[in-house]
Amino acid sequence: DGGITQSPKYLFRKEGQNVTLSCEQNLNHDAMYWYRQDPGQGLRLIYYSQIVNDFQKGDIAEGYSVSREKKESFPLTVTSAQKNPTAFYLCASSIDQGLGRDIQYFGAGTRLSVL
Amino acid sequence: GNSVTQMEGPVTLSEEAFLTINCTYTATGYPSLFWYVQYPGEGLQLLLKATKADDKGSNKGFEATYRKETTSFHLEKGSVQVSDSAVYFCALSTETSGSRLTFGEGTQLTVNP
């Protein structure tokens, strides 16, 4: 089955620690995205990538980093510079035809908590 | 810039009641409009979409009509079920934003038996 796989489902971060969230897709989509969701709030875009080896900052990129070395993979690192990392993180992908009509497909999310 | 405003929640209804969740937008350019649904503990999935004025998107008994004159895309369902309990997000993208989506805040719906 095609889809987006996020791992782990739950993750705990210690003070001063970097953690990496995995996102893999087998939909052959060009574009991938990372969102942060806080309780009672909408989704906020962290980073997105429209092609391998290229990515752009979203609205709340500070304290996060990404890489796009393969089309299928778009890992997100939450660095120690992110002082309030507790949230639900969602990865998504889309075809990216550039017409503004693309459907985004989402993974099941990773819930990150601070110990 | 682009923005989406949804009616505040949470919304609580009895089974078989009529549902409306309001969504209005502002956009630079000509937007495509989406409704996504998030069931508890899961990611989002597309519920329906419309890409031009007066288009009606529909799925699973839900409907929304793209109203350019009122810049709205309200979600409706004639008879809700307990299984419709979820968070609903209105979103838009434009040709200039490419595949980037702008989301509303989300509306929590609870349907009681």
Q: Are A100 and B94 within 8 A, CB to CB? A: yes
* CB distance A47 to A34 below 8 Å: yes
pLDDT at A94: 92
Distance (Å) from the alpha carbon of B5 to chain A's nearest alpha carbon: 10
Residue A39, pLDDT score: 83
For residues B53-79, average pLDDT: 97
Q: What is the pLDDT of residue B70?
A: 96
CB contact under 8 A, B99 and A43: no
Asked if B43 and A101 come within 8 Å (Cβ–Cβ), the reply is no
Whether the predicted pLDDT of B110 surpasses 90: yes
Give the DSSP letter string of B11-57: EEEETT--EEE-EEEE-SS--EEEEEEE-TTS-EEEEEEE-STT-EE
pLDDT in tens, chain A (115 residues): 679 999 999 999 888 899 999 999 999 999 999 999 998 778 999 999 999 999 999 999 999 999 999 999 999 999 999 989 999 999 999 987 667 678 999 999 999 998 8
Give Cβ neighbours of residue A39 (< 8 Å, ≥ 6 apart).
Answer: none
Q: Which helix H or strand E contains B77, and what residues bound it?
A: strand B75-77
Q: Residue A98: its pLDDT value, please?
A: 67
The pLDDT assigned to B88 comes to 96
Assess whether the previous peptide bond of A8 is cis (omega < 30° from 0): yes
Q: CB neighbours of A85 closer than 8 A, spacing ≥ 6? A: A13, A63, A78, A112, A114
